[in-house]
Amino acid sequence: MSDDSAKSLDGGIGTHVIAITYEVMDWAAEALPAHVPADDLKKLKPTAGEHLAAMLTTAYLGIVPVAVDVHGGVDLAYRVADSNSGALSSLLGRDGVEFADFEVKSIPGDFREHDAAVSRALKRGEEPGTHRSTFMSANNVVEAAQSMIAKAAKQLRDKSSPDRARVVFIVSHFLDRPYVECLDPVIAHTLTAPTLPDEIDAMWVFFAPSHLVVWSAAEQRWTQLLLGSFKEDGTAPAVDFAMELLQHYEGVFLERAGIDQSSPFYYGLGTGELPSAVDAE
């Protein structure tokens, strides 16, 4: 472990965490296409990260959804009475409910349009343009999600009911909003309490491609969701193309589910030099 990583962990003393193994994430990538109709899975919008929300919620709740955006309903519905998890209060903001409804929203940004423009330019035999973004804090990312949180809350009011846990799932693309804590193993302790509508029980935030945190209204705290091995000799799966571990599982899920739409979240980062006339922020 590097000195910087050790310092980050020192700062996270007292942070609440929930960890699952690589095997559980692999199970989630397999269980979704095995138990959810293919036509329903293909309604998930990769450009908005809905497929990522489905995979991650399935993995950490330990159950597959009973409904996926069917007939204008909520994006993901789970019968959490079937879950053996002892952490539902942290994950859903409530205990003792039979169902949990998730509404998924991605924070608007320019990268996804840039990604599509790159594909169009390459097909025309042209050089793609340059995408620029500015680093910010993870707290700034959550603040940027306020309009999407309000939109998701309204949809949950219209589509769900108070006897169900009502959860917002926010997705932020790294190349829209790169955050300075991106290399830290734990970031939940850096986040302040969010402003949520009263009827929202919990909010998951995926800082794609690396960090997943949950705010529980009942517990009034952030929880860091981690992925790893509990075995001394456990090793992570081999990851190709300079991708992060969760991107590896995204690719596994997309292949198993037969989702052939391209995902702007499935990319690798390399290094290179910019022309001298270009200033990078």
In the numeric block, the tokens 């992925």 are attached to 227
Query: For residue 236, what are the CA distances in angstroms to 22, 31, 172, 220, 227?
Result: 7, 20, 24, 32, 10
Please name which of 8, 44, 111, 13 lies closest in space to residue 260, comparing C-alpha atoms. Answer: 44
Residue 56 Cα to chain centre, angstroms: 7
pLDDT band at 239 (very low <50, low <70, confident <90, very high): confident
- What digits encode the pLDDT tens for the residues 87-98? 999 999 999 999
What is the pTM assigned to this prediction?
0.86
Residues, the chain, total? 281
- Please report, for residues 44, 45, 100, the alpha-carbon distance to residue 111 in angstroms, rounded to integers and kept in the order given: 19, 16, 31
Q: What pLDDT band is residue 1 in, cutting at 50, 70 and 90?
A: very low
- CB atoms closer than 10 angstroms to residue 222: 23
* C-alpha–C-alpha distance, residues 54 and 29, integer Å: 9
- pLDDT of res. 266: 86
Asked if the model's pLDDT at residue 280 lies above 60, the reply is no
- For residues 104 and 49, what is the distance between their CA atoms, to the nearest angstrom? 8
Instruction: Provide the 3-class DSSP secondary structure of residue 224.
Output: strand
**Per-residue confidence (pLDDT) for residue 217, from 0 to 100:** 96
Contact 106, 145 (CB under 8 A): no
Q: How are strands ordered across the β-sheet holding 67-68?
A: 16-21, 221-228, 211-216, 202-208, 165-173, 100-106, 76-78, 67-68
Contact present, 117 and 127 (Cβ < 8 Å): no
H helix or E strand, kind and range, residue 166: strand 165-173
**What's the mean pLDDT in 189-197?**
96
- Mean pLDDT, residues 140-164 taken together: 97
The span from the CA of 14 to the CA of 5, in Å, is 16
Question: Which pair of structure tokens corresponds to residue 88?
Answer: 């539902």
Distance of CA 4 to the CA centre of its chain: 25
The CA distance from 277 to 279, in Å, is 7
- The pLDDT assigned to 181 comes to 96
Rounded to an integer, what distance in angstroms lies between the CA atom of residue 148 and that of residue 247?
24
Q: Would you call 233 exposed, middle or buried from its count of C-beta atoms within 10 A (0-12, 13-18, 19+)?
A: exposed
- How far apart CA 231 and CA 91 sit, in angstroms, is 25
